[in-house]
Amino acid sequence: MSSKLQALNDWVDQVANHTRASRVHWCDGSGDENRKLIEAMLESGDLEQLNPETHPDCYLHRSDPADVARVEHLTYVCTEREDDAGPNNNWMAPAEAHALMNGLFAGCMEDRTLYVVPYCMGPIESPFSRCGVEITDSPYVVANMRLMTRMGSDALARIERDGRFVKGLHSTGDLDPDRRYIVHFPEELSIQSFGSGYGGNALLGKKCHALRIASYQARTEGWLAEHMLIVGIQNPAGEIRYVAGAFPSACGKTNLAMLIPPEAYREGGWKVWTVGDDICWLHPGEDGRLWAINPEAGFFGVAPGTSAKTNPNALAMLDRETIFTNVAVTEDNRPWWEGLGEGKPAKDWRGRAFDPKHGPAAHPNSRFTVSIKRCPSYSDQADNPDGVPIDAIVFGGRRASLAPLVLEAHDWTHGVLVGAGMASETTAAATGQVGIVRRDPMAMKPFCGYHFADYWAHWLDVGGKLTRPPKIFQVNWFRRDAGGKFIWPGFGDNMRVLEWIMARCRDEADATDTAVGKLPDAGAINLEGLEERPDMEELLRIDPAEWRAEIEAIGKHLESFGSRVPSQLHETLGRIREAIG
């Protein structure tokens, strides 16, 4: 098999010769192909079958213990000019990177099959979708890409029609951490990854293409590629409005994407629909609004902490047709992880008999890969070629005292500033130190494929083209009282905040204007049905002294990106500083 597109054939031939691949297989994405790949991996030991009675068509992959997460310090953006990559990225000159990677890839697929994986990020027929081809020597990558993207013959047909694609080249190499690199060439629309089999480093359609390369594509083409969930909120009248949201890790992003409303809301007719949990491509529409697609077709989610209590929708989809990576297993060979709330581990993520002295049973970054269509709250709008219109953009964070439960930005420019200053405080579990503030603008710190200051300027440019821009909000589910206890109940009750956000988007709710944004009026957040009424006054309190310190910290943060930072952000920050007094 080959392609009608000669440029693709030539590239595959060149790579096959350079890597000395023993075989070349063009992936069609069919069920029969997938079954044969699974059977081969079961035979080789790359996969283990889980309990077929409780988890049919579910498999466990154990990765090398030194290859269990993204390697940001070995991830590079290779632009001709170093300043174009920005201080937010590691930079390597393209010529140097090509020489390095050519040396690593030379002969690396000897005695291996080279898989050609054509894929489409987004619905096949959507004008907003973008395609790629990943060449890999990992059947595990192929099986995951089948779940995470629209992969196979239909994607190849679109690539042949478009005549363009992002080139992704991957090899597990010898899994040597000292010979591991993930390099991006935005100006060439290409990615090369060597020495890792971990999903974030090896599934090149995900963070590598859908964020780092796509953010660069989006800037040149006039749209936004964002690390955001997309969720539909249906009110009792049957009207659905869509929200996009960016949250740093450990801030409740996946839970919000699959939120189940409180019982009183469900009885009243409220529903929540999942369009996407991780990545969102936003395009200005002819109607002056932003329209969004989820470029992915599946979830590559963190297993630990997922339970019937924290995320019942996520747990419900993981009992069939799922690939688990680095979880533990029970005596009867069911997947297990910390926080699951049932069963107990017999073997840990390395395959050893579980012993607490060796650490957690499941690796803290253990994963599941599953089709989005398995999610109980799945929205068929995820396959709508036109995407969905976005009414609100929500930026989240984890702050013990500073940020109120919710605030609305004064305007688009202020909203961009809110996103640029996004921060979370570390927890003891994460670092051993509490309250260290880490900035993660738009939750894109590891994923923006070019200079952050230019990225913020692009946000302002896109907003300037919209006649009906989404309102921008900031939320903080993690405010604590004097005793260190969380004040807001969180989880499904976050629906109460979303209800106010939706009302603001319809201009149906009043708000109090403050220097840092618009806050809900007293009584505006519906607390009906809560067993314990939270201290709303404390949740919405703005402390001028804390905010003066925050404004100065954001100012220094912006200055760290140099003269490219848009003057509008400095000016907006100055107005807030003056208003706080």
| Active site amino acids | 251
Residue 169 makes CB contacts below 8 A (sequence gap 6+) with: 15, 101, 105, 134, 135, 190, 191, 192, 193
**CA 500 to each of CA 148, 175, 337, 497, 534: distance values in angstroms, whole numbers, following the listed order:** 33, 50, 35, 5, 16
DSSP 321-357: S-EEES-EE-TTS-EE-TT--SS--SB-TTSSBP-GG
Q: Is 254 annotated as a binding residue?
A: yes
Q: Enumerate residues 6+ apart whose C-beta is below 8 A from 567.
A: none
Question: Binding residue per annotation — 367?
Answer: yes
Tell me: is residue 344 an annotated ligand-binding position: no
| Other Cβ atoms within 10 Å of 104 Cβ, number | 18
What whole-number distance in Å separates Cα of residue 132 and Cα of residue 134?
7
Q: 491: annotated binding-site residue?
A: yes
Q: Is 481 annotated for ligand binding? A: no
Does 383 belong to an annotated binding site? no
- 301 marked ligand binding residue: no
**Would you say 366 is a known binding-site residue?**
yes
Residue 63 in marked binding region: no
Angle between helices 6-19 and 94-105 (to 10 degrees): 60
CA distance 256 to 275: 11
Q: Is 483 annotated as a binding residue?
A: no
SS3 content of the chain, % helix, strand, coil (to 5): 35, 25, 45
Residue 414, marked binder = no
Is 89 within any annotated ligand binding site?
no
333 appears as a binding residue in the annotation = no
φ, ψ for residue 409, nearest 5 deg:
-65, 150
| Residue 199 annotated as binding site | yes
Q: Residue 423, annotated ligand binder?
A: no
Residue 194 labeled ligand binder: no
Q: Where are the alpha helices (DSSP H) in 48-185?
A: 82-85, 94-105, 139-148, 153-162
**3 annotated as belonging to a binding site for a ligand:** no
73 is in an annotated binding site: no
Check: CB of residue 460 under 8 Å from CB of residue 219. Answer: no
Classify each residue of 189-210 as buried b or exposed e, where b means 16 or more C-beta atoms within 10 Å of its C-beta.
Answer: bbbbbbbbbbbbbbbbbbbbbb
Q: Nearest to residue 318, comparing CAs of 303, 297, 296?
A: 303
Cα distance between residue 503 and residue 523, in whole Å = 14
User: In the block, which residue shows the tokens 């801030």?
Assistant: 251
439 labeled part of a ligand binding site: no
Query: Taking each helix axis from N to C terminus, what angle separates 139-148 and 31-44, rounded to the nearest 10 degrees?
Result: 140
For residue 398, say whether it is annotated as part of any ligand binding site.
yes
* Ligand-binding site membership of 449 (annotated): no
Is 320 annotated as ligand-binding? Answer: no
Which residues are CB-contacts of 504 (< 8 A; sequence separation ≥ 6)? 392, 408, 471, 473, 511, 518
Annotated binding site: 70, 198-200, 207, 227, 249-255, 278, 365-367, 398, 491-494
Annotated binding site for substrate: 70, 198-200, 249, 365-367
Annotated binding site for GTP: 250-255, 367, 398, 491-494
Annotated binding site for Mn(2+): 207, 227, 278
